[in-house]
Amino acid sequence: MQMRRDIVRMVHAVNSGHPGGSLGCVEFFVALYGHILKHTPKAFTMDGMGEDLFFLSNGHISPVFYSVLARYGYFEVHELNSFRKLNSRLQGHPTTHDRLPGVRIASGSLGQGLSVAIGAAQAKTLNQDPHLVYSLHGDGELQEGQIWEAVMYAAAKGIDNLIATIDYNGRQIDGNVATVLDLGNLKTKFEAFGWTTLINENGNDLKAVIETLKLAKSFAHKGRPVVIIMHTEMGMGVDFMMGTHKWHGSAPNDEQLQRALSQLSETLGDF
Amino acid sequence: MQFQNTGLKDTRSGFGAGLLELGQTHPEVVALCADLTGSLKMDAFQKQFPERFFQVGIAEANMMGIAAGLTIGGKIPFTGTFANFSTGRVYDQIRQSIAYSEKNVKICASHAGLTLGEDGATHQILEDIGLMKMLPHMTVINTCDYNQTKAATRAIAHYNGPVYLRFGRPAVPNFIPEDFEFHIGKALMLKPGTDISIFATGHLVWKALEAAEILKDQGISAEVINIHTIKPFDEASVIASVKKTGCAVSAEEHQKHGGLGDSIAQVLAEHFPSPLEYVAVNDRFGESGTPEELLRKYHLDTPDIVAAATRSIARKTKPT
């Protein structure tokens, strides 16, 4: 898939960035931006009135976010060349600061995006705008306390125009999530808080992700927030980046880039 | 003009009254509170506009994030909690989701400083001005009485950008005329003078006016200027005043490090080096006590401003 080529080429070019989680979330982003979101890439507004909104809470997977925004027309694909470089709108972590279309909040410091998504969802309710708010979170990110403040709030206040997805790849910087700080039974936790909880066992199967997101939508406006626990493989699509946490935040060298690209076909043309 | 104490009123009630007015005039204004609705005087807004009031519980980090999100739908959120929980507790949330993201959130903070009183040092934040003024894009305002707080509350709704509005718990003299317009970033001349410039913010402004009266009896003409906006800082007014008087005092209910005095010192060092004496808390935590006892013990009282003025004047270079 082209976006996987974008991701490894972007991080290779600046010898920094987070390829692992980005590669694991490609299908989610394609499903969301290509099949689910009602959005207007060519007429981006910060307010997002009358359209669906998406918030990336685990901002370090910016390569996949930027790639999908460019490939769906928020900005020119060649701008992916500027990722992490001086004077770029494509900062290491996404920001509104440099007015990049498609980004509505800065993220990077983890745990903040769910609260922001809730606020945007409540604004939609006040504005009588029936569109939905989506958010994506890392599994390691759930170790942040603010997430659970937000989880409690969303259920208690019946925020039902919000669909949060957890990228459950089981890995974080220091190793396996279960080893670093086990999340326990995430499904029962969300259910106990009062969320409609859906499981997607294969978050790297595009059709399955689309179906899960459609199912999640069918639960919207029913009095409860919805969460999708989406199992993915960190580093998906590049054999040597899979099955390990080591490519969470490391870039491939020249030889590794060639190995990776040999496994990823160029379908839309490289940037 | 002569400013008159028209009676004791708490600044937080000025916030509550201003917020209620905004509720009536600005449908896009919404309010969030973290379980301190009564303390923040937000109950009237809550009662009149229940659909625009968000009780978030004791979860300030979440409150800041929700406020940031509400701006994305065109709302103007006012968050309310104690100054300690409005800043230090949620600094990273403010930094990333509000300041860096340039969200139009009004962070309204009561019970700032020592005059929170008996609750003690855990709640008496004296570092909040410094924390907030260091953030790019952040406007920082510290009001001095009920009327000014009410006017500032209204004014910040008309300004597009993140604002930190700091006020307090105790009833203090209300002396700024009700019809005074609040100009963000503009110093307010309270009393012209020629021998010393006293720059004061927050609860110490009235004490600075009292100090000026005492100094007058000693034959000293003190200029009293209220710096209600710490950022953006009205450099021109500070420089103009000190060029006239040749020396200065800063007075604030805050740490010396990072406060109003710090901002004045920067401006003077860069543009017009002059003696400056600080009336501020000097690198200590507070403690339990009544507001007045605490201001005395921590040397933030009227006689302390008089003494600082005397020291500052003594440091002026004598004309040869």
Query: In chain B, which residues have their Cβ closer than 8 Å to the Cβ of A53?
Result: 72
Please state the separation of Cα B179 from the chain's center in Å. Answer: 19
CB contact under 8 A, B72 and A47: yes
Report if residue A160 sits inside a domain. yes
Sheet with A133-138, edge to edge strand ranges: A53-56, A133-138, A162-168, A226-231, A196-200
pLDDT at B320 over 70: no
Residue with the two structure tokens 């808080």 = A193
Decide if B194 contacts B218 (C-beta within 8 A). Answer: no
Helix (H, G, I), strand (E, B) or coil at A115: helix
Q: With CA atoms as reference, report the closest residue to A161 among A224, A227, A228.
A: A224
A33 domain residue, yes or no: yes
Nearest neighbour of A150 by CB, restricted to B62, B92, B103: B62
Q: Per the CB < 8 Å rule, is A122 touching B69?
A: yes
| Dihedrals phi, psi of B208, to nearest 5 degrees | -65, -40
Nearest CA in chain B to A53: B72
- Asked if A64 contacts A3 with a C-beta cutoff of 8 angstroms, the reply is yes
Asked if B106 is an interface residue toward chain A (Cβ–Cβ < 8 A), one would say no
Residue A143 distance to chain B (closest CA, Å) = 15
C-alpha closest to that of B113 among B263, B230, B262, B281: B281
List CB contacts (< 8 A) between A115 and chain B.
61-66, 68-69, 93, 97
Q: Which residue among A53, A96, A112 sits closest to B65, beta carbon to beta carbon?
A: A112
Helix, strand or coil, per DSSP, at residue B126: coil
The string of pLDDT tens digits covering residues B32-43 is 999 999 999 999
Contact across the interface for B97 and A152, Cβ inside 8 Å: no
How far off is chain A from B224, nearest CA to CA, in Å?
39
Please state, in angstroms and rounded to a whole number, the distance separating the CA atoms of residues A52 and A39: 6
Instruction: Please say whether the beta carbons of A20 and A241 come within 8 A.
Output: yes
pLDDT single digits (tens) B139-171: 999 999 999 999 999 999 999 999 999 999 999
Is residue B318 over pLDDT 70? no
CATH class assigned to B9-173: alpha beta
Shortest alpha-carbon distance between residue B213 and chain A (Å): 48
Q: Are the beta carbons of A123 and B69 separated by less than 8 Å?
A: yes
* Domain-embedded: residue A245: yes
pLDDT single digits (tens) B196-255: 999 999 999 999 999 999 999 999 999 999 999 999 999 999 999 999 999 999 999 999
Q: Is B245 exposed, middle or buried (0-12, 13-18, 19+ CB in 10 A)?
A: buried
Give the A window 121-160 contacts with B, CB below 8 Å.
Answer: 121-124, 126-127, 129, 145-146, 149-150, 152-153, 156-157
Residue A271 lies in a domain: no
Name chain A contacts of B91, Cβ cutoff 8 Å: none
State which H helix or E strand residue B44 sits in: helix B43-48
What average pLDDT score do residues A172-179 get? 96
Mean pLDDT, residues B281-302: 98
Q: What are the chain B neighbours of A150 within 8 Å (beta carbons)?
A: 62, 65-66
CA distance A129 to A181: 39
Cβ separation of A146 and B65 shorter than 8 Å? yes
Q: Which residues neighbour B248 within 8 Å (Cβ) at sequence distance 6 or greater?
A: B196, B197, B198, B199, B238, B241, B242, B264, B268, B274, B275, B276, B277, B312
Q: Give the phi and the psi of residue B175 in degrees, each rounded to 5.
A: -135, -15
The residue length of chain B stands at: 320
Give yes or no for residue B181 having a pLDDT over 80: yes
Answer whether B64 touches A (CB < 8 Å): yes
Q: CB distance from A251 to chain B under 8 Å? A: no
Domains in chain A, number: 1
B81 pairs with which residues across the strands? B109
Which of A109, A120, A152 lies closest to B69 in CB terms? A120
Closest CA of chain A from B216, distance in Å:
51
- Among A44, A45, A99, A105, pick the best mutation site for testing chain B contact (most B Cβ within 10 A): A105
Q: Identify whether the C-beta of residue B106 lies closer than 8 Å to the C-beta of residue B165.
A: yes
Looking at 3.40.50.720, 3.40.50.1970, 3.20.20.210, 3.40.50.920, the CATH number of the domain B188-314 comes to 3.40.50.920
Query: Same CATH fold, B188-314 and B9-173?
Result: yes
A108:B92 CB<8 A: no
Q: Which 3 state secondary structure label does DSSP give A228? A: strand
pLDDT band at B319 (very low <50, low <70, confident <90, very high): low
Q: What is the pLDDT of residues A3-51, one digit of tens each?
A: 999 999 999 999 999 999 999 999 999 999 999 999 999 999 999 999 9
Whole-angstrom Cα distance, residue A105 to residue A97? 9
Q: Do A116 and B61 touch (CB under 8 A)?
A: no
Between chains, do A105 and B74 touch, taking CB under 8 Å as contact? no
Say if residue B260's pLDDT is above 90: yes
Q: Is B62 on the interface with A (CB under 8 A)?
A: yes
In the predicted model, is pLDDT for residue B317 greater than 90? no
Return the CATH number at A220: 3.40.50.970
The reply to whether residue A109 touches residue B96, judged by beta carbons under 8 angstroms, is: yes
Which structural domain range is residue A171 located in? 2-262
Beta strand pairing status for B196-200 and B248-255? parallel
Residue type, B72: I
Residue A223 three-state SS: coil
pLDDT digits over B67-123, tens only?
999 999 999 999 999 999 999 999 999 999 999 999 999 999 999 999 999 999 999
The answer for residues whose C-beta is within 8 angstroms of residue B320's C-beta and 6 or more apart is none
B51 at interface of A, judged by CB pairs closer than 8 A: yes
Domain ranges of chain B: 9-173, 188-314
Which residues from chain A sit within 8 angstroms of residue B68, using beta carbons?
105, 115-116, 119
CB proximity B34 to A under 8 Å: no
Q: What angle do CA A210, A67, A120 make, to 5 degrees?
A: 65
Strands B171-173 and B8-10: antiparallel
For helices A113-126 and B60-72, angle between their N-to-C axes, nearest 10 degrees: 50
Helix and strand numbers (H, E) in chain B are 12, 14
CA distances from A171 to A168, A184, A227, B65 (A): 8, 14, 19, 26
Res. B1 pLDDT band, cuts 50 70 90: low
Q: First-to-last CA distance in chain A?
A: 14
Nearest to B66 among A46, A122, A152 (CB): A122
Record the tokens describing residue B195, joined without a space.
């021998």
Question: Which residues of A fall within a CB distance of 8 Å from B136?
Answer: none
Q: Is residue B301 scored above 80 in pLDDT?
A: yes
Lowest-confidence segment of A136-140, B2-6, B139-143, B296-300 by average pLDDT: B2-6
Strands (E), A110-188: 133-138, 162-168, 171-172, 175-176
CB-based contacts of B234, cutoff 8 Å, min separation 6: B185, B186, B187, B227
Please report the residues numbered 74 through 103 in chain B whose beta carbons come closer than 8 angstroms to any beta carbon of chain A.
74-75, 77, 92-93, 95-97, 100-103
Work out the angle at residue B160's Cα, subtended by the Cα atoms of residues B154 and B161, and round it to the nearest 5 degrees: 105
The whole-number pLDDT of residue B2 equals: 83
Residue B130 binned pLDDT confidence (cut-offs 50, 70, 90): very high
A146 contacts B72? CB cut-off 8 A: no
The span from the CA of A170 to the CA of A140, in Å, is 8
Taking CB atoms and an 8 Å limit, are A104 and B72 in contact across chains?
yes
CA–CA separation, B209 and B214 (whole Å): 9
